[in-house]
Amino acid sequence: MVLDTIQQRISLIEEHIHAACERAGRKREDLSIVAVTKQVSAKRTKEAINAGIKNVGENRPDGLLSKRSEIRDDNVKWHFIGNVQSRKVKDIINEIDVLHSLDRMSIAKEIQKRAEKIVQCFVQVNVSGEESKSGLHPDELLSFIEELSNYDKIRVIGLMTMAPFTKDEDLIRNVFRSLRKLRDEISSKQFGHAPCTQLSMGMSNDYVIAIEEGATHVRIGTALVGTESEGDV
Ligand SMILES: *Cc1c(COP(=O)(O)O)cnc(C)c1O
């Protein structure tokens, strides 16, 4: 199959998603695709939206703000998926629908100060333990989430992680499985501020494994929108 339109790329991804849902006994509608557009223009982001994408993810404040103001579409939900500096929280927090990268109390404090309404957040966990990755150590997770009950602007809807960049599928699967276990532990506590039912995991290379392991949000960039420099869409 020649993937020369975004529509074709989405169709292929949907095929993979349906097959993975079937294998895992899951329903397609329990899963959202977040199209990660950090490497492409607002124009190409619009093409993805026209092809049916309803959730867009960016990892830098500038990219998020410029795309959002250019696109102005009330049907689109905006996801911030990157590491955010405390001093930048005020720029984005009232412009997004979901934050995937809450991993420090300094960010929580800043959200509490700046947000005009409750913010849906994923808490990011560094399951694989790689030094280069952001996120809480799994051992710190429970006390972090307990402490978040002091911040009524924050609702913890789930956990997020990034798998290591490797071809070792068992390793990737174990990371996703561990995040799911952590999610189950937290959600079983039935915290009012942290229902924690969702799992944001899986990118272009590993979203099929993530879905098999329970992802509710897959964050797909290059497989969906390509990169502008490829010139292939
Ligand atoms: C860039 C990015 C993605 C998407 O990566 P692809 O490999 O292009 O699908 C997903 N999640 C985060 C946090 C990212 O920074």
Give dist(CA 49, CA 40) in Å, integer.
13
pLDDT of residue 1: 53
pLDDT of residue 186: 98
pLDDT of residue 227: 86
Alpha-helical segments (H) within the chain: 6-24, 42-50, 61-71, 89-92, 105-114, 141-147, 169-188, 207-212, 222-225
pLDDT of residue 231: 53
Give dist(CA 197, CA 199) in Å, integer.
7
pLDDT, tens digit, 9 for 90 and up, residues 10-64: 999 999 999 999 999 999 999 999 999 999 999 999 999 999 999 999 999 999 9
Measured CA distances, 45 to 41, 108, 141 (Å): 6, 29, 34
Q: Which of 183, 208, 182, 211 is nearest to 197 (CA)?
A: 183
Pocket residues for ligand 1 (CB within 6 Å)? 36, 38, 59, 81-82, 162, 203-205, 219-223
Give dist(CA 159, CA 204) in Å, integer.
19
Mean pLDDT in residue range 183-203? 98
Cα(161) to ligand 1 centroid in Å equals 11
pLDDT of residue 230: 59
Tell which atom from ligand 1 comes closest to the C-alpha of 222.
Answer: 8
More confident residue, 230 or 118: 118
Give dist(CA 58, CA 9) in Å, integer.
19
Tell which atom from ligand 1 comes closest to the C-alpha of 203.
Answer: 9
Mean pLDDT in residue range 158-162? 98
pLDDT of residue 107: 98
Least confident of 67-71, 145-149, 162-166, 226-230: 226-230
**The one-letter amino acid at 65:** L
Domains and CATH numbers, the chain: 6-225 (3.20.20.10)
